[in-house]
Structure 1
Amino acid sequence: MKIPLSNPSAFSETPVTIITSIVYLALIIPLLIVHHVVPEAPGQIAGTNVDLAEAWLDLQTLTNGFHPYNSRRNDVVRDWLLQRIDALRGDNPVVVFSDMVSNVSFSEAGRGGGPGVSVYFEGTNIIIYIRGSEDDPEQWYLKGKRPQGKGAVLVNAHYDSVPVGFGATDDGVGVVTILQLIKYFSSSGRQPKRGIVALLNNGEEDWLNGAWAFTKHPMSRFPHTFLNLEGAGAGGRATLFRSTDTEVTRSYQNSKYPFGNVVSADAFKRGIIRSGTDYSVFTEVMGMRGLDVAFMEPRARYHTTQDDTRHTSRASLHHMLSAALSTMQGLTSDMSSTFDGGNAEKGKVPSGKGTDGVWFDLFGSAFAVFRLNTLFAMSVTLLVVGPSTLIVTATILYKVDKLYLFSSSKHHHHAEGDDSVAIQGWRGISRWPIIMVFATAAVIGLAFITTTVNPHIISSSPYSVWSMMISAWMVVAWIGSIAADFVRPTAFHRTYAMLWTFIVCWLALVVATVLERNPKIAGTYLIMFYFACIFLATSVSFFELFGLPRKSVYADEIEAPKANPIARSRPGSISSARLMAPTEEEQTTRQNPDNGGDDEEDPTESTSLLGGGRRTTFKRYSSPHRPGPTDEIMPESKTNRLIYGSEQAWSNSLPSSLWLLEFLLLAPFPLILFGQAALLFTTATYQTLADGNDPLLIYLLMAVLTLVILAPLAPFLHRYTYHIPMFLLLVFAGTTIYNLTAFPFSESNRLKLYFLQKVDLDSGINNVSLTGVPFVRGAISSLPSAAGQKPLCFPSTLRRDLTDCSWNGLPPRVVPNTHLDVPPEFGYVDWLTLNATRDPHGKTEAHFHISGQNTRACKLVFHRPIVDFSVEGAADEGRDQRFQKASEYGSKELRLWSRTWERGWDVTVRWDASGDDESNGLDGRVVCLWSDANDSGAIPALEEAMRFAPSWVAIVNNQNGLVEGSKAFLV
């Protein structure tokens, strides 16, 4: 099909198909590249002494083994970090605190408002203070005064890992980034204006314990702002996924490769993302303002043995390090009062109050930041200006008699009476909703089918799912558009489609504006910009109608031939292009050419197949150059404006290329914004089904995003050639078959199964369990120790929507010199020492003495909640008004963490017996944890699972410990 050389941008099939396809591809391909390809790392960040090669070597040393808090290697890593800090520190004033004193007692609320969990933790954090050039040495804590005025900036990362993860990106990259920041800001000539508190905390993986311990150190009162470096994936780009306010976010704006979207922050606020980071402690407990930057893909490697330097890259290290450096430069150089709000009260840092913000990157190169109040004002303005503009434009069109929209006919007055001339302006008004309903129903149906047949396919093939949904929507929408255009052709398909989109988006913006006000959802910026684009495109479509003749003039020229047949051939007559049945005179002329009419032309490729009708070219345009029996010569001034197919005759007056401006206003910017949001959503969720997330919700959100991304094409699809839709039909068929039949996991996209071994130290009963989606049964069947056994499988009580399967596994050897070939009372019983006594005066109070061999983590699990506890001899055990030791509904679990090995805890607990007889005691179990998997043979069941499980399985820890040994108590 050839593009007319005179106008390659005409609203015809070939230009529309080529131009719209090129625009979509030209935007989608860069979006995918930016999202998945990390910028290449240089050897050194320009203008700095930051050494990426040195940082990479440090990362390899740090990740040369598992190092959870409850492991011997954790102490080795800590000693190494102190040595590296001493080697990297420069000439500027630096103070290093090896905090072996801070203890903290706190509680976490339980799910659903029930009893929670209490914690006693002894910290082993490393804190580095780099004095700022503007810091007043008389105001900081060493002089015994509470810090006031200009506060420092905290940068934080945790140096512990999970028990079966090497911690390269969670959080090794964050740790070595801080080491390089210490090197940079302590070097000569680079002293920051505001002081820097660099925190390397220990125990984040065990419910953020390290950050809680920092709250008890005097230096915790010095910072006002913070930058938290984390890892919720295992590579890729470091993403800004949370921020407290607009002002602090601006410090990230100067990053060379900014990457992030406020939508992720909204997901945290609404509880859609349930992961926790130290950010929560810094903001909710300490009252600071700051940023959360973390890796977020691929989730399947997160907390597994593939979180190592082999599966990350120097490019990822550079991305986080460069962003952290520029952010810290911005925060430390800001000496305004933006982050200073007066004296601290009730232990909280006086960080001032920020404004809620909106932020997002564009192609990983630019970063937009503005206030939520600005977004609200823009939304309200558009809600008023948008409809008002269209109403005013329509009113003017009506006044000048050019409102062909919503017009069915126009009266023509002449000497013989009044006639009604068909305008057919209503034609096409209902097709957009019908097409949208069918196309959207197709992708929603695919979401339900995929969820039912093969829900986990998205874990390994998210883009196959996207291809299936996009191709299905396009094919259905194209077929609907072409069918409607064939049955009832109209020149207003484009205008009515945009008008319907305008109405739907206006209603969505109403809801979004309400959400912006309360509960302060910032991700609605997507809807605001989408509406702004559709408003501009629809306005242009309305302005396009000014190019039409007045309806009265059109009616006069259509009806003039009836009163004066000679006028039919007069130059300038619009009737030459009308779409009307032939008059009696014309019919007689056609049947008898000798009776004053022209001879019938020989049939050509332009001749109507039905005969006697208006001839069209193979482009479906009426030809003004070769008149037929019913097609008169068009006015010479309009010979370059053709009528498409059988559309209304007046459409020849419409501009032929204005559609391109409408498309460029409507499609590109929403595609960029929603395309980025869709990719972020995909990365954040596609491998979370193994954690128990609902697959239907993910597929339905993909269906909705498919509609939003492709909806800008709807006004133009009726001009598409069949080539792309037919290709997409093949794509749909292939991807649908694959998505419904393929195995959903692979070596590079493994299924996480959660490991836990429980040993009853009284009876010697040993159970190993794997928790996960139903594929867990197949994984267990491959283990030698499970041969001949039928695992007991029940819904998991710890992980929602997952299955817990257990069997009698290989006995552990986590305590040295354990004799496993003797009865349990001689083999296991001395792993844990327990002495439990009740208050002799009958109070609801009990005392426990607990100690475990080769561990520094134990816990008390109660059948009834406790309301208070104390740990005897613990330093800094005084009551902190910020923290409650038990939640409002009490605690059914008390976790005890020691900084020394094999120490004993003397714990006193109290419970509430109101409504019960005080003779009712307290029962439960004392549990000690073993988390060190570095020594071969210590946990044979774990090693067996890692060795013999299918290659598509990743074994991860289910709880803080890999092995739990317990004894029962009753007091």
Structure 2
Amino acid sequence: MARLSNPLAFTPLPVMMLVTITYVALFSSLLTTHLTVPNYPSHTPPGTNLTEAWTDLETITRHYHPYNSHANDDVREYLLSRVEQHIASKNLTSHQVQIIDDKVSNVTFSSGSTTVYFEGTNIIIAIRGSEDKEPFYSATPYQSARDAKNGGVLVNAHYDSVSTGYGATDDGVGVVSVLQLLSYFTEERNWPKKTVVLLLNNGEEDFLNGAKAFMRHPISQLPRTFLNLEGAGAGGRATLFRSTDTEVTNFYKAASHPFGTVVSSDGFKKHLIRSETDYVVFNGELGLRGLDVAFMEPRARYHTMEDSTKETTLNSVWHMLSASIATTAGLASDTSTTFSGSGKPRTDGKVDAGQGTDAVWFDIFGRAFVIFRLHTLFALCVTILVVAPVTLIGLTVGLSKADKNYLFARKQYVHSSDDDEPVQLNGWRGFFRFPITFCVATAITVALAYLFQRVNPYIVYSSPYAVWTSMFSAWAFSAWFLLRGASAMRPSALQRLYALIWIFIGSFALLIFATVLAQNFQVAGGYLALFYFAGVFAAIVLSYIELFFAPRKSAYVALSDEAEPTSHQTDSSSRPLTGSTNGPRSGDRSPLVDDDATETTSLLRGDRRSFRRYDGRRQSASEGTDAGERSGSTDLGHAYAGEQKWSGKLPSWLWTIQFLLIAPINIILVGQIALLTTSALYQTPADGSPTLFIYVAFAVLTTLLAVPIGPWIHRFSYHVPFFIFLVCVGTVIYNLIAFPFSREHKLKVYFLQQVDLDSGANEVSLTGLDGYVQEIIGHIPSAQGKHIECTTPQVKTRKELRKCAWEGLPAQVAPKLPSGAVAFGNKTKPESWVDYSITRNNSANEATIRVQGQNTRACRILFDTAVDNLAIDGAVSDDPRFNATGEDGTRELRLWHREWSQPWNVNVAWDGSASSSLSGKVVCLWSDANAAEIPAFNEVQHYLPVWAIATKFGDGLVEGSKGFKA
């Protein structure tokens, strides 16, 4: 009776309570951590002021301010004034802090068949380290920067926005964090030991141009480490996107609310994530070691007008700022040689910052941060892969020597003679249940993925958690239905252990795969498999140890023989095929000697009494008094209803320890990755990403989340599973019929206006999901009654979308001449927006192209055939890190000027016969949507349905082109 009152017994009520409470509590905690932001403190560190930061954020995000806009100049002037105010308020000298208003650096570089010429307008602030003795403020700016004693730390944020977004989190919060870092580190008590370089770069949104221009400044040779602040959403927590190595990531650990997992870093490393940040310039091209910290969701607001202060909070500002202070302060206080390298300049022009080690890192509920080396992960994986099977083999041998190995034991004879009738041990019962259940439940979950993708493919865009709920509930109910049904038909005390064995086998294979990835491909996300397998291994060891509490098989068989002296004469064909919960009947074999049915025996044959009410209560003394009690010999205890009698003395509470070893850590780790995956993927269909991949990823992660309930769920009564079934039905119906977009999760469509300045043709287009983009255009007045032509976009990353164009409202991008511009004709006519001239060298395939656009500082030259060489007047050409053309030449040249309406002179050369011609297009861009210069864009924004929102298709909102031939 003691076991009946045990609150931790392996009976329905304790199992349902512990499993349900654990899953609900951990899911709730994970969601709370993921979807909410910690409150900012009432008192911030000396030198920081959140009210001031918020005021700065509101000021710089009042207008769209892309590089190619007049508002961008206003933001730049404001930031310069704020930097000067910070320094002046503390009476700092140029020997302590120096401001570099870099309007000199320019860069020419190629990427594939595209060449970019960019003139930078970066703002750089250098705070000299207290232990840096060499002056970095020499007459020749920063000539000794490369030889600085301790190197330095770079903190970067870009102050330009896109043409369709106010840039509150992309990258306004990063910008105001840099300003607050300036204020923090210029407090005497916070003065850094190493030089801190604060970079406000301009031109990140167009081709990471600002960071490239920074490489051209000598001070870029000073830092050895960096922290890049970015944004790809609107509000929320700032996550650690990626890092270069263990040593630099250790400093992020000091953040009060660390957030992120190395899985995102793996995604960037393996090019699974398309977008890029300045991180690739600072690390890949400059050679620094550092971190990428960024806001990551909701992606529907990314690069839209909803990236505004209205959609972010002071909590988000503090979350990024606090992490920036902790990380930068740690890096700036490290005067060791960790990041010094050899101390000699590298021949490739990169900074010598030394070599770091690949890292594994993740947070726990945004409170703690776990970090260790990838090599350590590999060593642990190899160790446990060897130790685990050896341990289980040793335990199996120990059980056999102790005569208690009931695993896979079918029968045993009372005497050594085979003439004796055997006693059935039923050690195989329950062995195949879990793999069958796993396959069926997983197949149902994957089938749901295909069903959603087929019927309502974009429901994940607005309702990702409804998709998660339907998949998880489908897996859980399917598993309960099969495992509970099998247990009711043929109870087995080994069902839990056999489920653990199968999970052990599966996680063992998963760990081998993760080990290979870690060693051969430096993928660190396999840490999940290590913890998963370790928990299962510990749990299965407990199950093996549990068997040592069972009676010896010889004693159990002898006891069975004593209890049934006539059993040898009993007709075996008259015995029931399933274990009964009742005591022995007249003419029946003792319940101690069970039938010899196997897993393939029909569940519907034999004694129908095995289908009696299964409410989890154990047999009473009158129902199940065993032979041992009647004979006064060995006490077999009380086995669970219908299960093998030899299991009566097994500890009934060990399951709680097993569950706690497996479930919590795996729910936390898998849940964190699942939520990160959700944030990264669920709104990417608007960008052209396939939806099936998202649903299948959800199905796989659902399986990993649900598997830990497998060994215990057969003890559930119908109450909780029936509720789960109703939830599953409800969410599946919702996912199949609900409209996939809403006010809170708007569908992004891409705007572009293209004007052929030769013919006067004016085409306005929206690019988006097929079917929905046509419906959106139906709301636009200028498109009413017009011919709408829908085609596949000629952009690789948008080929899954549809581009639908019509003759829209005319643009007015050059209504007047800017001050200082060169006049040539009537600038109110579109054909005067772009002017060019070509001077060809008749003796060679060489030409000079002069390009000028009015009221813009961005133009392009598109060549029909690649040019092999090009040079822009005024460009620096002596930097070996940059090539003006790619290996196969240049088909597109992008030109960026820091001044308005100024011309470029481009010298080009191409292969071919002396008579071969040069042809293509000259295109200029206009990106300023603040005024009334682009009526078509204003019309689209005004008349879009409430479930849609506009963003940019390219660098410019308006493109004006003219053809040329020379």
TM-score scaled by structure 2? Answer: 0.92
Cα distance, 1:855 vs. partner?
Answer: 0.4
TM-superposition CA deviations, 1:240-282 (whole Å, max 9, x none): 0110000000010000000010000000011111111000000
Query: For residue 118 of structure 2, what is the aligned residue in structure 1?
Result: 121
Query: For residue 307 of structure 1, what is the aligned residue in structure 2?
Result: 307
Structure 2: stretches of 5+ with no match in the other structure: 568-577, 592-605, 818-824
Counterpart CA distance in 2 for 1:942 and 1:894 is 26
Counterpart CA distance in 2 for 1:376 and 1:454 is 42
Counterpart CA distance in 1 for 2:26 and 2:732 is 25
Describe the shift of the 1:827–1:634 C-alpha distance in structure 2 as closer, same or farther (beyond 3 A). farther
Query: For residue 868 of structure 2, what is the aligned residue in structure 1?
Result: 867
Whether 2:802 is the aligned partner of 1:812: answer: no
Counterpart CA distance in 1 for 2:260 and 2:280 is 19
Query: For residue 351 of structure 2, what is the aligned residue in structure 1?
Result: 349
Moved more, 424-433 or 700-709: 424-433
CA contact (8 A) 1:558 1:578 kept: no
Cα distance, 1:920 vs. partner?
Answer: 2.2
Query: For residue 703 of structure 2, what is the aligned residue in structure 1?
Result: 707
Task: Note the 1:645-794 alignment, pairs <5 A.
Answer: 645-774=641-770, 775-794=772-791
Describe the shift of the 1:611–1:452 C-alpha distance in structure 2 as closer, same or farther (beyond 3 A). closer
Cα distance, 1:867 vs. partner?
Answer: 2.3
Counterpart CA distance in 2 for 1:489 and 1:667 is 24
Cα distance, 1:838 vs. partner?
Answer: 2.5
CA contact (8 A) 2:492 2:644 kept: yes
Describe the shift of the 1:534–1:847 C-alpha distance in structure 2 as closer, same or farther (beyond 3 A). same
Query: For residue 430 of structure 1, what is the aligned residue in structure 2?
Result: 432
Q: Which of 100, 104, 121 is the equivalent residue of 1:101? A: 104
Secondary structure at the counterpart of residue 24 of structure 1: helix
Counterpart CA distance in 1 for 2:631 and 2:25 is 40
Task: Note the 1:188-199 alignment, pairs <5 A.
Answer: 188-199=188-199
Moved more, 356-365 or 918-927: 918-927
Query: For residue 401 of structure 2, what is the aligned residue in structure 1?
Result: 399
Matched AA of 1:480: L
Query: For residue 112 of structure 1, what is the aligned residue in structure 2?
Result: none
Describe the shift of the 1:536–1:86 C-alpha distance in structure 2 as closer, same or farther (beyond 3 A). same
Counterpart CA distance in 2 for 1:731 and 1:532 is 32
Task: Note the 1:821-970 alignment, pairs <5 A.
Answer: 827-841=829-843, 843-874=844-875, 877-913=876-912, 917-935=913-931, 937-970=932-965
CA contact (8 A) 2:636 2:649 kept: no
Whether 2:234 is the aligned partner of 1:234: answer: yes
Query: For residue 455 of structure 2, what is the aligned residue in structure 1?
Result: 453
TM-superposition CA deviations, 1:855-886 (whole Å, max 9, x none): 00000011212222111134xx2231111112
CA contact (8 A) 2:814 2:828 kept: no
Describe the shift of the 1:638–1:439 C-alpha distance in structure 2 as closer, same or farther (beyond 3 A). farther
Counterpart CA distance in 2 for 1:62 and 1:637 is 87
CA contact (8 A) 1:586 1:629 kept: no
Cα distance, 1:587 vs. partner?
Answer: 6.0
TM-score scaled by structure 1? Answer: 0.92
CA contact (8 A) 1:100 1:124 kept: yes
Query: For residue 572 of structure 1, what is the aligned residue in structure 2?
Result: none
TM-superposition CA deviations, 1:428-465 (whole Å, max 9, x none): 11111100010000110010110111111111111100
Secondary structure at the counterpart of residue 626 of structure 1: helix
Cα distance, 1:638 vs. partner?
Answer: 8.7
Cα distance, 1:204 vs. partner?
Answer: 0.3
Q: Which of 78, 85, 88 is the equivalent residue of 1:87? A: 85
Secondary structure at the counterpart of residue 206 of structure 1: helix
Matched AA of 1:792: E
Query: For residue 596 of structure 1, what is the aligned residue in structure 2?
Result: none
Cα distance, 1:32 vs. partner?
Answer: 0.6
CA contact (8 A) 2:814 2:827 kept: no
Describe the shift of the 1:443–1:501 C-alpha distance in structure 2 as closer, same or farther (beyond 3 A). same
Describe the shift of the 1:894–1:414 C-alpha distance in structure 2 as closer, same or farther (beyond 3 A). closer
Counterpart CA distance in 1 for 2:27 and 2:894 is 49
CA contact (8 A) 2:69 2:928 kept: yes
Whether 2:150 is the aligned partner of 1:150: answer: yes
Counterpart CA distance in 2 for 1:3 and 1:857 is 83
Percentage of matched positions with identical amino acids: 48
TM-superposition CA deviations, 1:667-720 (whole Å, max 9, x none): 110111011110111011111110111110010010000000110000111101
Describe the shift of the 1:137–1:223 C-alpha distance in structure 2 as closer, same or farther (beyond 3 A). same
Describe the shift of the 1:169–1:826 C-alpha distance in structure 2 as closer, same or farther (beyond 3 A). closer
Matched AA of 2:9: A
Cα distance, 1:639 vs. partner?
Answer: 7.9
Describe the shift of the 1:618–1:470 C-alpha distance in structure 2 as closer, same or farther (beyond 3 A). closer
TM-superposition CA deviations, 1:906-934 (whole Å, max 9, x none): 10122233xxx442222110000000011
Counterpart CA distance in 2 for 1:267 and 1:282 is 19
Secondary structure at the counterpart of residue 622 of structure 2: coil
Task: Note the 1:405-420 alignment, pairs <5 A.
Answer: 405-413=407-415, 418-420=420-422
TM-superposition CA deviations, 1:370-421 (whole Å, max 9, x none): 1000000000001101111111101111111111001111121179953311
Query: For residue 170 of structure 2, what is the aligned residue in structure 1?
Result: 170
Counterpart CA distance in 1 for 2:723 and 2:611 is 31
CA contact (8 A) 2:628 2:634 kept: no
CA contact (8 A) 2:435 2:502 kept: yes
Counterpart CA distance in 2 for 1:454 and 1:660 is 41
CA contact (8 A) 2:551 2:636 kept: no
Query: For residue 15 of structure 2, what is the aligned residue in structure 1?
Result: 16
Q: CA RMSD in A?
A: 2.7
Count of residues paired in the alignment: 925
Task: Note the 1:282-293 alignment, pairs <5 A.
Answer: 282-293=282-293
Query: For residue 278 of structure 1, what is the aligned residue in structure 2?
Result: 278
Query: For residue 113 of structure 1, what is the aligned residue in structure 2?
Result: none
Counterpart CA distance in 2 for 1:230 and 1:434 is 47
Q: Which of 66, 69, 72 is the equivalent residue of 1:71? A: 69
Whether 2:267 is the aligned partner of 1:267: answer: yes
Query: For residue 601 of structure 1, what is the aligned residue in structure 2?
Result: none
Counterpart CA distance in 2 for 1:372 and 1:826 is 62
CA contact (8 A) 1:638 1:653 kept: no
Counterpart CA distance in 1 for 2:848 and 2:275 is 35
Describe the shift of the 1:651–1:860 C-alpha distance in structure 2 as closer, same or farther (beyond 3 A). same
CA contact (8 A) 1:758 1:963 kept: yes
Whether 2:249 is the aligned partner of 1:253: answer: no
CA contact (8 A) 2:178 2:198 kept: yes
CA contact (8 A) 1:156 1:201 kept: yes
TM-superposition CA deviations, 1:522-564 (whole Å, max 9, x none): 0000111111111101111111111111111111111123448
Cα distance, 1:828 vs. partner?
Answer: 1.4
Cα distance, 1:889 vs. partner?
Answer: 2.2
Cα distance, 1:586 vs. partner?
Answer: 4.7
Describe the shift of the 1:262–1:582 C-alpha distance in structure 2 as closer, same or farther (beyond 3 A). closer
Moved more, 14-23 or 630-639: 630-639
Q: Which of 458, 471, 474 is the equivalent residue of 2:476? A: 474
Query: For residue 132 of structure 1, what is the aligned residue in structure 2?
Result: 129
Matched AA of 1:881: P
Secondary structure at the counterpart of residue 207 of structure 2: coil
Counterpart CA distance in 1 for 2:590 and 2:380 is 63
Counterpart CA distance in 2 for 1:125 and 1:614 is 80
CA contact (8 A) 1:832 1:850 kept: yes
Secondary structure at the counterpart of residue 836 of structure 1: strand
Secondary structure at the counterpart of residue 412 of structure 1: coil
Query: For residue 378 of structure 2, what is the aligned residue in structure 1?
Result: 376
